[in-house]
Amino acid sequence: MATPMDEDTPVIDEDMQSRQMAVYGRESMQKLRKASVLISGLNGLGAEIAKNVILSNPAAVTLHDSKAATVADCGAHFYLSEADAGKNRAEACHQMMQELNPGVRVTTLAGSFPTDLSGYSVVVAVDLTLEEALLADAACRAATPPIAFIRADIRGLAASVFVDLGPSFTCLDPTGESIKSAIVEHVVVVEEKDGATKLRIQCVDDEGLDLDDGDTVTFSEVKGMEGLNTQGGLLVSDCSKGKKNFVVVVPAPAATLGAYTSGGLVSEVRMPKQLAYRSLHDFLLSPGDLWEVDESKMAPAATSFAEEFLMVMGSPAANVRYGRAGLLHLGFRALDEFAKTHGGALPQPAVEAEAQAFLKLAEQLNAANDADNKVMQLDEAPRRTALLQLAAGADATLSPMAAIVGGIAGQEVVKACTGKFHPICQGFYFDAFECLPDSPLPEAEFSPAARAAAGRYGSQVSVFGSSFQRQLEELNVFLVGSGALGCEFLKDLALMGVACGGAGHLTVTDDDVIEKSNLTRQFLFRNHNVGKSKSLSAIEAARRINPSLKSTPLQDRVAPSTEGVFNTAFWSKLDLVVNALDNIKARLYVDSRCVFFGKPLFESGTLGTKCNTQMVLPHLTENYGFSRDPPEKEAPQCAVHNFPHNIDQCLVLAQSEFVGNFDTIPRETADFLAKGPAWVDELRKANENESTILDKLRGDPRVHCGMSGGAYDLLIAERSATWPACIGWARRKFESYFTHRIAQLLHNFPPDATTSNGVPFWSPPKRLPKPLAFDVADPLHMQFIIGAANLRAFMLGITPPPDCRDPAALTAALAAGTGAVAVHSFTPALDASIETDNKEEDAKRKAAAAAAAKPEDEQIREVVAELAAARATLPAGFALKPNEFEKDDDANFHMDFISAFGNLRARNYGIEEIDKFAAKLKAGRIIPAIATTTAMATGFVCLELYKHLAGRPLTARRNLFANLALPGPLLMLSEPMPCPKIKSGARFDPDMYMDVDEVAYPEGHTLWDKVAVPNASKLTLGGFVDLFKSEHKLVLQELMLTVGDKSQMIYSVTLAQLAATSEANLARPLVELIGETTKKPLTPATAFYPLTDIVFATIDGDDVKCASVVLQLDW
């Protein structure tokens, strides 16, 4: 749904753009909607930039090109086909570019580079000559206001990006991180000097403040020291104690601030940053501060920390003179000069004379540089080789490089239009020459004839050779997921020719369907695909990119339940697996299967402007599951239910109440209606306690404050058959949630209450609440009533009137205040069993209440009898329809209820409210996502595919962490961690949190190694025990089998209670025991079975850390 704005403010379709808005924010998206971008040069890189920019949703994009398409362009340009050869590239891809986003006006220009650039916000130049680029940059700088100019090029496995945002550019948000805030716990005056006061601030521990020195903060709600609330932005220094303790200096005497007593909020202020850009001409002569992507590629003097490097280390000259970035800057300048002196042509591979001419130009340019800009150690073999590799691939446009640079340059366009995130200052260089073999290829591999014969793969053949291309085409690849990452991977793989020949094959699986919000980044899909299978639609689109693609789309989730589909035969034929998943559980499962079957896994993930890639290589690296992020911190339940101090905690309760009222309760009530009293017996058999059963039946009247809950609410207390009754229920719910519950809380803990230690009960982080008085004139109050009433009606099968969204219509229904819409007066409960942060006092209060109450089993019998009687009076056909939470349907009232509830709860506690879209992001756990980051991540993964196929060593492989929001942009490449070898001796056990002595078997094994048990289909458990004792000198101690989420012991020598069972099981066949215990019989289709929960000891009784044990079922 579009957000209503004034006439001058662009309208944003929030349903479509929700994932992008989660990254950029509404204001930046509105700025983008006013932007007009010119993209010149529609080769593969230009197409990538255009795709990413169009998906970012500007007002207009103009595509310009002076060149005709060639067959070789099809190797990197996803919207050109062989049939387009000879056509202008911009015009040939215009229609497909327009279909990417019908809301963007896409036009084309042919002929020479336009001289009139007025009306454009940003000009992007790809494959433009140096003379044209210099003129274009000068014209952009001379414009009023200046037009942003970006020049981007890829030359084989090397890339260059130049950014000029004019003499003065304001970066409004240099990091893009969420604004930090916290509750003040204490303020101490450190010193007073020269009319200023130094204060040390301590914040409460459970707030994620994480300030850094140099940040700016403001204060509010400080009591006693009220003068601090009016000081504006103050600089932070001396951060310590988890960054929750810091110093600020206030430019005022302490006496004017007051004496601190309690409370206060501290909030970060995001300060703009002014940047001054130099022209392209000046940059070429003196590039300034260049980001070094991979420090291992720096000059020998830098990697050895020689004295000559130490003298400049830390200055811009260090990377210019000794860095790979400085070397590439010189190399790209030399390519410009080469093209200038060779009629626009670039060096060709294996043409020695052209390579030497290029080297000579580089040396001449370097000789003319001043001392700070002179590239050092040009004669060193690694530096000279890199320049020759740049020249050899100069005329090649590779799909992975286009994806990487297209993501980076596309993000720079967005930064230029919005001021959001830190732009490049001013140049960026990157290469992936480590993809190349150490020894030169035979010239026949990439001769002109070989490149011509390769057709669309000509560029790839010119870099890697024709034999390598055939290997790509023969690959058998499994792509798991076809969402945002999956679409980009499919595009890259199709362009590269993966699985496009011989016995090659690509299997793609995804059990999801396409939604409207997917279209802004899952670029293979269009409006007509909404509601269709992702995998089927993605494969159809990929085959349009490369009709030779041999692929099978599946709609099965890769999980234990589908091991019959993805069986041993399937996994065994794979060459590699590419994950394109968006949840950790699925990633871990695919990772475990790759480890089991010994398959390489190419892993990646994105989060807004951030992305990471990880290469999981059999017997070389650790696996994806080896290291885990710490679990997400959850708010304490007492804070959520009674003492919230931020909007997130308010929304947690809002979503919980949505699920309880409109999903859980109707489902459980339907179960009761179907089964009657027998339902209660089933709950008891499932080990539900009496309190939980009672809550499901009628809720807790002390918590519901005058209203019932559970089945009793639906069938007796609030049985609704009309629309006015639904309105009345919603009105009473408002009173219960936002008036009575708060009144009950204050009845239990008055404002002046103290703890047993004499400390004020309402101390930070607790916030003293106040009840709300319902007001039909308050839009938020009516939003809650409208949402709750419509959800109630849907659940009960009541058709609301046409004006069910009209506040005026509901106001009229509420006006009487009697009958169906009557509200109960508040009567304090004797004990509301409210949880606090003092568990001892909570327990005493609950125990006293329980002792005085009627026995719960008796209460259950009484309620069941009432509900059974009510069931007999229900009309024929009575049915309940649960509401399963769906965040992306703006017409279903789900977010209306949740956002209104969350904000009303925040209003109770004086917490800052947020709009409905922000609530949707939080409650819906929407993952921020943009096309630029996704494209870049997949490009880096595909570079690793080149390395893997070329058999490059681990030292040449790279994992990536990147953040396009930070200057550089921040790209960090690192060698994958090798898999640790398990050796005998002391080992730290993270589960036991102590060192344990173990014997490794076999010695030095890794997670990739296995102990195979042959002929296991004919083996009894006793035979298994004897086999390990005789052949491996290991004594089986315990064997457990996984049953769902639990493990069941089938053999133990240590547990006396299992002695008889263990003895009996020894004579039974292993396959029979496994099938019976797991309820999943093994069949001849199962060739291998892992025993994951198994414990051995040596014959001498020492503990053993054994490699994975795998049964070979030779049926």
| Positive/negative CA dihedral, 861, 867, 872, 878 | negative
For residues 377 and 322, the answer to whether their CB atoms sit within 8 Å is: yes
CA 652 remoteness from chain centre: 20
- CA dist 1020 and 1039 (Å) reads 13
Determine how many CB atoms are found less than 10 A away from the CB of residue 670: 18
Distance between first and last Cα of the chain: 59
For residues 316 and 202, the answer to whether their CB atoms sit within 8 Å is: no
Give the full edge-to-edge strand order of the sheet including 1108-1112: 1010-1013, 1108-1112, 1088-1091
Inter-CA distances, 155 with 328, 347, 348, 404, 958, Å: 11, 10, 11, 13, 20
| Strand partners of residue 1040 | 1049, 1093
Residue 957 DSSP one-character state: -
For residues 779 and 807, the answer to whether their CB atoms sit within 8 Å is: yes
Instruction: Specify whether 638 is catalytic.
Output: yes
Q: What would the DSSP string read from start to end of 45-85?
A: HHHHHHHHHHHT--SEEEEEE-SB--GGGGGT-TT--GGGT
For residues 942 and 493, the answer to whether their CB atoms sit within 8 Å is: yes
Helix 856-872 and helix 665-675, axial crossing angle in degrees, nearest 10: 80
834: left (phi over 0), alpha (psi -120 to 50) or beta: beta
Residue type, 711: A
CB-based contacts of 317-322 (< 8 A; 24+ apart in sequence):
317/372, 317/373, 319/289, 319/290, 319/291, 319/292, 320/287, 320/288, 320/290, 320/372, 320/373, 320/375, 321/372, 321/373, 321/374, 321/375, 321/376, 322/298, 322/376, 322/377
Tokens 């041993």 belong to residue: 568
Catalytic pick among 140, 417, 638, 650: 638
Q: What would the DSSP string read from start to end of 523-546?
A: TT--GGGTTSBHHHHHHHHHHHH-
φ and ψ of 927, to 5 deg = -85, 120
* Structure tokens, 1035: 């004594």
For residues 161 and 152, the answer to whether their CB atoms sit within 8 Å is: yes
- CA dist 987 and 995 (Å) reads 5
* Structure tokens, 1115: 């049926």
Inter-CA distances, 752 with 626, 746, 761, 880, Å: 52, 10, 8, 46
Question: What dihedral angle (degrees, nearest 10) is formed by the CA atoms of 754, 758, 764, 766?
Answer: -30
What percent helix, strand, coil does the chain show, rounded to 5? 45, 20, 40
- CA dist 1091 and 1074 (Å) reads 10
Q: What would the DSSP string read from start to end of 1014-1074?
A: TTGGG-BHHHHHHHHHHHS-EEEEEEEEEETTEEEEEEESS-GGGHHHHHHHTTSBHHHHH
What is the DSSP pairing of strand 196-203 with strand 476-480? Answer: unpaired
Whether the bond into 377 is cis, omega within 30 of 0: no
Active site residues: 638
